[in-house]
Amino acid sequence: MRARASILHLDLDAFFAAVEQRDKPSLRGRPVIVGGIGTRGVVSTASYEARAFGARSAMPTSEARRRCPPGTAFLHPRFQAYRASSRVVMDLLHDLSPVVEQVSVDEAYVDLAAPGTHDLSVAGVRALVADLIDRIASATGGLTASAGVASSKMLAKIGSDLEKPHGLVVVEPGRELQVIEPLSVRVLGGVGPATAERLKSFGVITVADLQRMTLPDLVSIFGESHGHGLHRLARAQDDREVEVERETKSISAEETFDVDVPDRARLDSELAAMVTRVGGRLGQSASFARTVTIKVRHHDFTTHTRSATLTHATGEQAVVLDTARRLLAEVDVSDGLRLLGVGVSGFTSHAQDQLAFDEVDEPDVPATPEPSASREPAPESRPSAPSWRTGHDVRHDELGAGWVWGAGRGRVSVRFEGPRTGPGAVRTFASDDPALHPADPPDWRERPDVSG
DNA sequence: TCTGGGGTCCTAGGACCC
DNA sequence: TCTGGGGTCCTAGGACCC
């Protein structure tokens, strides 16, 4: 917590709906819902007119249709338009300070102390941010924003919410506890429906109630991290800095089908399409991923993930798709899938990915000594054995069938799943091993006797 | 026709290693 | 008969956020 109110949290009001109303005057003053408008859609944003009828973000669109009157507009999101306006706003924030943390398309923190030139008195920041909100409105064609300024991120965010829409709250340093104590614990970051419900069972409704719980009790109920977090936040203790850059840790795509899909061919083509999207973004980021995860949701909404970590990070869509296919093959889809998704994570640089391959080498195959070369960026063409590429099916005369997990510099690692090797056994061979050859047919997993 | 899509972080158990 | 203790990696699930 800082001595002065120098952290700004800015939030655009009912952003998606406001952009639609700005761009289409006939929508102004009317209830507008932006989100999934299909049978299984949910509301992304409800305009304030729609909120008056009880429509809310994350509500099933079918429910919003029931609540809102005839004449309500239900619209698909136009992300391009939102991004364009978002950029205009973020540029205005960067005019105030170089330290801007964009949390989402419609939300950001700004460190007003960073430039060292702003008047950080309560009156000073109030004038500064009031002017900012005016400039946002004129630069975006009338979008309104709400802002909170406080001594910490937590209080700034709570402040921006207090007088929405078009509100500005400066929390005077020293009054933080007064502000939060009467509020619901739900205002604290990390307190969602589940945590709020558990707290309620202990008679905790407000932040003041939460202050009465001891740290050992909170830790025993919520675990080490969450317990300490709750204890701190209830006392307005928040030292998080405004972070300019946050690295991406996973990339994923998923889709909920209008009707549950039991058809493997259809699921496979959906999977391929999603891998193309994920792989495209992975390629843009110029990084390599080691872990591939699929996600499935059944008709009863039970949701599962299956993941596989490769020995060898990859940037290739074919490898991601092949891995995802193998994971999906293990899922019972006979009742149909409601949702299918795929993601990649465990990003590494190319140099590290070569190192990872070296580390899993089996001792019975002498590794080529390369004292420092493995730490250097590898040349453009990765495998030195062109016939073996990660993700391809192979057979070994003695060990049965498997697929290539890593290939390079005269060696190939094969992952077998058979009675002799056990599931997931990885063996490494010289790539000219005569007992190693392409598998046929490629769908060896379907054949129970394949490695027997 | 209840319940999207894209993320982050945490926990817990098992394998494995020293 | 009784069976350590960390640490790390991987997997799966859950809570949460916008």
Q: Is A282's CB less than 7 Å from nucleic acid strand B?
A: no
Biggest CA pair distance of chain A: 80
| Rounded Cα gap, residues A292 and A289, in angstroms | 8
How many angstroms is C1' of C16 away from CA of A193? 9
Domain boundary residue, one of A348, A368, A383:
A348
d(CA A1, CA A18): 34
Residue A279 is encoded by which pair of tokens?
A: 């792989």
Determine the nucleotide nearest to A195 by Cα–C1' distance: C15
Report which of residues A312 and A382 the model is more confident about.
Answer: A312
CA→C1' distance for A47 and B8 (Å) = 27
Predicted pLDDT at A360: 41
**pLDDT number for residue A413:** 64
Determine if strand C comes within 7 Å of the CB of A193: yes
Lowest mean pLDDT among A214-218, A312-316, A381-385, A394-398: A381-385
**Quick check: A346 CB within 7 A of strand C?**
yes
Q: Which residues contact A185 (CB under 8 A, 6 or more apart)?
A: A191, A195, A196, A199, A204, A205, A206, A207, A209, A210, A234
> Nearest nt (C1') to A356 (CA)?
C9
Please check whether residue A118 is in contact with residue A128, taking contact to mean a CB–CB distance below 8 angstroms: yes
Nucleic strand B near CB of residue A285 (< 7 Å): no
Confidence at A436, pLDDT banded by 50, 70, 90:
confident
Q: A429 and A380 in one domain?
A: yes
Picking from A85, A54, A59, A61, the residue whose alpha carbon sits closest to that of residue A75 is A61
Q: Tell me: do A305 and A432 sit in the same domain.
A: no
Query: Residue A279 CB closer than 7 angstroms to strand B?
Result: no
What is the structure's pLDDT at A76?
97
Which of residues A155, A173, A191 is at a domain's end? A173
Radius of gyration for chain A, computed over Cα atoms and rounded to the nearest angstrom: 27
Do A154 and A119 belong together in one domain? yes
Same domain for A7 and A72, yes or no, is yes
Asked whether residue A239 is marked as a ligand-binding residue, the answer is no
Please identify, among A324, A348, A372, the residue that sits at the C-terminal boundary of a domain: A348
> Which whole number is the average pLDDT over A9-38?
98
Residues A272 and A219 in one domain: no
Alpha carbons A52 and A108: distance in angstroms, whole number? 26
Q: How far is the CA of A280 from the C1' of C17 (A)?
A: 25
Q: Tell me the HSE value of A389 on the side-chain side, using a 13 A CA sphere.
A: 12
Lowest mean pLDDT, pick from A55-69, A73-87, A103-117, A426-440: A426-440
pLDDT category of residue A99 using cuts at 50, 70 and 90: very high
Residue A45 within any structural domain of the chain? yes
Domain co-membership, A80 together with A197? no
Question: Is the pLDDT at A127 greater than 90, yes or no?
Answer: yes
Q: What is the pLDDT at residue A87?
A: 98
Count of CB atoms situated within 10 Å of the CB of A424: 11
Q: Is A107 a catalytic residue?
A: yes
In a domain, A79, yes or no: yes
Supply the pLDDT for residue A35. 97
Asked whether residue A427 falls in the same domain as residue A367, the answer is yes
Are A173 and A159 spatial neighbours (Cβ–Cβ below 8 Å)?
no
Q: Is the pLDDT of residue A366 over 60?
A: no
At a CB cut-off of 8 Å and minimum separation 6, what does A74 contact? A33, A35, A37, A61, A64, A65
Looking at residue A377, what is its pLDDT?
Answer: 33
pLDDT band at A133 (very low <50, low <70, confident <90, very high): very high
- A307: nt with nearest C1' to CA: C11
pLDDT exceeds 60 at position A271 = yes
A449 is in an annotated binding site: no
Q: Is residue A452 part of a domain?
A: no
Residues A197 and A139 in one domain: no
Give the pairing of strands A73-75 and A32-35.
Answer: parallel
Alpha helices in A340-411 (DSSP H): 350-359
Please tell me whether residues A308 and A372 are part of one structural domain. Answer: no
Is A181's CB less than 7 Å from nucleic acid strand B? Answer: no
Domains in chain A: how many in total? Answer: 4
Q: Which nucleotide is nearest to A44 (CA to C1')?
A: B4
Q: Which of A107, A176, A270, A417 is catalytic?
A: A107
pLDDT at A349: 72
CB of A343 within 7 Å of some strand B atom: yes
Find the CATH number of the domain harbouring A320.
Answer: 3.30.1490.100
For nucleotide B2, the protein residue with its alpha carbon nearest to C1' is A60
Residues A101 and A186 placed together within one structural domain of the fold: no
Is there a single domain that holds both residue A27 and residue A149? yes
Residue A237's CATH number: 1.10.150.20
Does A103 contact strand C, using a CB cutoff of 7 Å? yes
Give me the residues paired with residue A206 across strands: A184
Nearest nucleotide over every DNA/RNA strand to the A15 CA, judged by C1': C18
Residue A103 belongs to some domain of the structure: yes
- Report pLDDT digits (tens) over A370-415: 333 333 333 333 333 335 555 556 776 666 667 666 654 455 666 6
Which structural domain, as residue segments, surrounds residue A343? 250-348
A4 and A123 together in one domain? yes
Q: What is residue A452's DSSP assignment?
A: -
**pLDDT value for A432:** 60
pTM comes to 0.80
**Sign of dihedral through CA atoms A14, A17, A22, A25?**
negative
List the A190 CA – C17 C1' distance (angstroms): 8
Region A155-168: mean pLDDT is: 98
Does A451 map to a domain?
no
Share of chain A above pLDDT 90, in %: 76
In this structure, of A54-58, A155-159, A345-349, A429-433, the range with the lowest mean pLDDT score is A429-433
